[in-house]
């Protein structure tokens, strides 16, 4: 046995010293959950500002908001936003369990399916196409993504403070959360209350924002 065999190598000493210096340099990291909550609050505020700059609530909102068809929009969009924000918190932390958030999102999908099924069962087939197309499909596809720009930017900035293992997936999730916030606001303006319309055009608008989020995630995360 040579005299140096039991002594640590210079590289090992150098690595240990580097870790020690970095540990002392780094302050206590801010919990990602609080960062995400701040991003969500700023995202909602920016979405509301965009909404009010471009649109306004429908004139009869104080009356129709008590009807089940209008409430259905919020029963779908608000839990979707909450569930996706909760899931973002887990996606941004490697190996973190997803918890009950996927179950909440599955419940949103089930509610949407029940609403569509009820609509089809209670209306004549001759009316299905008219209810699906509605009167404002193109506005839905335009305004929901526009309103979602602010929240998406806030969520991407927050995700940069996390460590998402799949940046594209994290960006797409941020896009869905952003579009859900935007859709909840847009629902107060949209006069098309059919679950068929919501399931079709709100979903297509969400896909547009999710695709933008995927690209942003791959580019910035």
Q: What is the pLDDT of residue 9?
A: 52
Q: Rounded to an integer, what distance in angstroms lies between the CA atom of residue 98 and that of residue 73?
A: 26
> Which residues contact residue 218 at a Cβ distance below 8 angstroms, ignoring those fewer than 6 apart?
167, 168, 171
The answer to whether 184 and 74 have CB atoms below 8 angstroms apart is yes
Q: Rounded to an integer, what distance in angstroms lies between the CA atom of residue 53 and that of residue 100?
A: 36
Q: How many CB atoms lie under 10 A from the CB of residue 192? A: 21
Reading the chain (221 residues) residue by residue, the pLDDT tens digits are 554 555 555 555 555 565 455 445 444 457 888 899 999 999 999 999 999 999 999 998 888 888 888 999 999 999 999 999 999 988 888 777 777 888 988 999 999 999 999 998 988 888 888 888 888 899 999 999 999 999 999 999 999 998 888 999 999 999 999 999 999 999 999 999 899 999 999 999 999 999 999 999 999 98
Closest CA to 108 of 84, 130, 125: 84
Q: Which tokens hold the place of 51?
A: 């909404």
Q: Rounded to an integer, what distance in angstroms lies between the CA atom of residue 20 and that of residue 18?
A: 5
Burial class (CB in 10 A: 0-12, 13-18, 19+), 14: exposed
Q: Which tokens hold the place of 168?
A: 């594209």
* First-last CA distance in the chain: 50
Q: What is the pLDDT of residue 211?
A: 97
Which contiguous run of DSSP H or E holds residue 71?
helix 68-91
Q: Which tokens hold the place of 152?
A: 């998406």
Q: What is the pLDDT of residue 29?
A: 58
Q: What is the pLDDT of residue 27?
A: 47
Q: What is the pTM of this model?
A: 0.83
Checking phi first, is residue 27 left (phi over 0); if not, alpha (psi -120 to 50) or beta? beta
Hunting for tokens 């299905």 — which residue is that?
128
Q: Rounded to an integer, what distance in angstroms lies between the CA atom of residue 73 and that of residue 131?
A: 15
Q: What is the pLDDT of residue 28?
A: 46
Q: What is the pLDDT of residue 38?
A: 95
């Amino acid at each position: 046995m040579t005299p140096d065999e039991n002594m640590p190598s210079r590289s090992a000493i150098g690595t240990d010293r580097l870790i020690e210096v970095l540990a002392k340099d780094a302050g206590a990291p801010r919990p990602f959950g609080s960062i995400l909550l701040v991003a969500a609050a700023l995202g909602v505020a920016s979405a509301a500002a965009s909404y009010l700059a471009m649109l306004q609530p429908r004139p009869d909102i104080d009356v129709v908001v008590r009807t089940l068809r209008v409430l259905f929009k919020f029963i779908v969009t608000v839990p979707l936003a909450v569930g996706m924000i909760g899931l973002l918190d887990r996606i941004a932390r490697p190996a973190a369990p997803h918890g009950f958030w996927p179950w909440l999102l599955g419940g949103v999908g089930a509610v949407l399916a029940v609403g569509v099924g009820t609509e089809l069962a209670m209306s004549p087939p001759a009316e299905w196409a008219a209810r699906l197309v509605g009167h404002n499909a193109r506005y839905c596809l335009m305004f929901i993504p526009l309103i979602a720009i602010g929240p998406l930017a806030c969520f991407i900035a927050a995700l940069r403070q996390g460590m998402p293992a799949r940046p594209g997936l994290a960006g797409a999730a941020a896009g869905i959360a952003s579009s859900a916030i935007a859709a909840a606001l847009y629902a107060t303006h949209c006069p098309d209350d059919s679950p068929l319309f919501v399931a079709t055009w709100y979903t297509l608008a969400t896909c547009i924002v999710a695709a933008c989020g995927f690209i942003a995630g791959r580019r910035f995360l």
